[in-house]
Amino acid sequence: MVYLILLTAAAPGCRKPYTPGPISAPGTYLVVEGVIDPGADSTIIKLSNTVNIAGNTSPAVETNAHVTVENEGGASYPLTERTPYYAGQYLAVGLNLDKTKKYRLHIKTSVGNEYASDYVPVKPTPPVDSVTYKITPKGLQINSNTHDATNSTRYYRMAYEEAWKYHARYNSELIIKNGEIVSRREDEQIYYCYRGDKSANIILASSEKLSQDVIFEHPITLIPPSSEKLTIKYSILLKQYALTKEAYAFWENIRKNTERLGSIFDAQPSQLKGNIHGITNPSETVIGYVSVATMQTKRIFVDNNLFPNTWYVPDDGKCEKNAYRLNNDGENDVDLFIIKGGLVPITAIFSSFPRKIVGYEASTVECTDCTLKGATTAPPYWQF
């Protein structure tokens, strides 16, 4: 018994770390992202190429491609690349397709390689019934609700766009113009800003095992109490797409491969087999799944006054507000520390009697200028 214990205790020390080298791939794979919208909304298809995981480069966009939507009868609908600002994205506005036909995506790259997806039916997406929120100990939980009275959808994918109003640490009432500190006009304010983001995770829902096609309080995102997003007002736009059973299986496979790895009990990585194939080279791997579905959306706003008082962005200690006094000449320290030092004046310091400016409070740009991360102009949909 003693020998067994000693042997067991010594065993971990005999282990040697093994770090396998990166697997080299012969080339890159085309990645196709997007949904063909058969209605009046825009269809946006993104084309890019994978890179080696050991490399330091970002996925390269596929530019100057010829991209079309085709139906089984031979009709073709071209997409236009959104250059120069959205290279690699291909757009068609309001295709208004015949929803009784099947459609596919056809791609011809700038070097002449051709690809096509399988012909798939149009999946009408039921409306989003509601987007709800719950205040929980972990933060603001956003959920969605939908149903299909015909029980014919069953498989759903969601995405979202969020926006929020926030403020800088300090409100600068002053601005430096022509080497002088003067009052800041309203159109020059840099205290309140707006910022946005898009969902990065894959959100799926299914009612396959239910008697009714109902999705109830499905989790969309959880925002921590300390998040900047909850500073003043938060908004989220939910996007909902109907999926075929095959499309759902593809997205579920991606979700398992990207979000559920890390322990021996998680699903093991598996090959991503989509519905897009090489025509020039049938054996070539292409990553992506093209669906044809309408998009349904719903937006909500949540005000900060609904949250507990304990919810706030904690002070990270990086922002300091210092006072700079004028000397008898009324300059020197201010000129040296604020104007030449690249600081932002916040407020003036006045003497009691006679009342006059005797100095200024100032801080860094990072602590006073919200435009470093956002914009002072509210989005056109913003609810005031």
Tens digit of pLDDT for each residue in 320-334?
Answer: 998 888 776 555 556
pLDDT at 345: 93
CB 165 within 8 A of CB 232: yes
Provide the residue type at 183 as one letter: S
Distance, in Å, from the CA atom of 219 to the CA atom of 139, rounded to the nearest integer, reads 13
* CB-based contacts of 53-62 (< 8 A; 24+ apart in sequence): 53/22, 54/22, 59/31, 60/28, 61/87, 61/88, 61/89, 62/30, 62/88, 62/109, 62/110
pLDDT of residue 353: 84
pLDDT of residue 264: 45
The total of other beta-carbon atoms located within 10 Å of residue 381's CB is 10
Q: In angstroms, rounded to a whole number, what is the distance separating the alpha carbons of residues 223 and 201?
A: 14
* Tens digits of pLDDT across the chain (384 residues): 444 433 344 444 555 665 555 555 556 899 999 999 999 999 999 999 987 766 666 678 999 999 999 999 999 999 999 998 999 999 999 999 999 999 999 999 999 999 999 999 999 999 999 999 999 999 999 999 999 999 999 999 999 999 999 999 999 999 988 888 899 999 999 999 999 999 999 999 999 999 999 999 999 999 999 999 999 999 999 999 999 999 999 999 999 988 755 544 455 555 668 999 999 999 999 999 999 999 999 999 999 999 999 999 999 889 999 888 877 655 555 666 677 778 999 999 999 888 888 889 999 999 999 999 999 999 999 999
Look up the pTM and report it.
0.85
Token digits of residue 125? 């997406």
| From the candidate CATH numbers 2.60.40, 1.10.3470, 1.10.1660, 3.90.1280, the one assigned to the domain spanning 27-117 | 2.60.40
Q: What is the pLDDT of residue 10?
A: 43
Q: What is the mean pLDDT of the chain?
A: 89
